[in-house]
Amino acid sequence: MLLHVHPDNPNPRHIKTIVECLRDGGVIIYPTDTIYGLGCDIFQHKAIERISALKKVQPEKAQLSFVCYDLSDLAQYTKSISTPLYRVLKSHLPGAYTFILPASKEVPKILKSKKNTIGLRVPDNDIARTIVKELGHPILSASLPGEMVEEYTDPELMHENFKNLVDIVVDGGAGNTVPSTVIDCTQEPYEILRMGAGEWAETD
C-alpha cells in the first residue's frame, strides 16, 4: 500500500493505519529528516527478522537504530546519560543524527549489538515522530538495502520496488539522499562514525 501523508500535518486516520500495521508485525518504508528508512515495531520479532532478511544480515549486525519521539523516550533505552552528554543530545535533537549509546535492559535482546550498544535517533520529521508518539514506543529504523540512493527519494518508485516486501510505503514527499551523522558516545572523546546530514563541530 502507498499511503500519502501530509509532511507538516499528518492525517490522524493515516497515522492510525500505520500504527495498526506496526502493531500487527508489519514493515513500513517511511520518511525521516534524511533518507527514507525501513521501520517496524521494536517488540515485533518477526518484523525485525523480516527487515534483517531484506538487508541480508543478522539482526545484531544490521546496524539498526531506534527512532524515538523525544529525549525522555530516548533515556529509557540507554543507560544513565551524564549531564554533559545530555546537553549535547538536547542541542542536536530533533535532528539528522544517530547517537550510539550503551543499551539499557529495555532494549530487546535481538537488537543489541555485541558491544551492547544501540543507535538512537529523534528525527526532525513530523510523520516519523507522530507515528512513534501514537505507537507509544520507538520504531526500529534501518536503511533500505542496496546503493541506489536516487531511487530512495521517490516514494512511488520505492513502492514499485518494494511493494511485495513491505506492507506500507508512507509517502511524505521527496526524500533526501544524505543519511544521518552517526556519533559514538560510548567513549570520550565522542567519535564520528559517519559524517552525514547533521553538522558536527569538534567542540560538540
pLDDT tens digits along 101-141: 999 988 888 787 777 888 999 999 999 999 999 999 999 99
- CATH of residue 161's domain is 3.90.870.10
Tens-digit pLDDT profile for residues 27-64: 999 999 999 999 999 999 999 999 989 988 876 666 67
Whether 202 maps to a domain, the answer reads no
Cβ-Cβ contacts under 8 Å for 130 (sequence gap 6 or more): 10, 15
Is residue 201 domain-resident?
no
What is the percent of the chain where pLDDT is above 70? 96
What value does the mean pLDDT take over residues 180-191?
A: 93
Residue 83 lies in a domain: yes
Q: Which three cell numbers stand for residue 66?
A: 531506534
Q: Is residue 199 part of a domain?
A: no
Q: Which of 159 and 79 is assigned the larger pLDDT?
A: 159
- Is pLDDT at 189 greater than 80 in this prediction? yes
Q: Specify the number of domains making up the chain.
A: 1
Residue 203 has pLDDT above 70, yes or no: no
| Local confidence band at 23 (pLDDT 50, 70, 90 cut-offs) | very high
pTM above 0.85, yes or no: yes
How many other C-beta atoms lie within 10 A of the C-beta of residue 156?
Answer: 10
The parent domain of residue 81 ranges over 2-194
Q: What is the mean pLDDT of the chain?
A: 90
- pLDDT band with cut points at 50, 70 and 90 for residue 162: very high
pLDDT in the model for residue 108: 85
pLDDT at 202 over 60: no
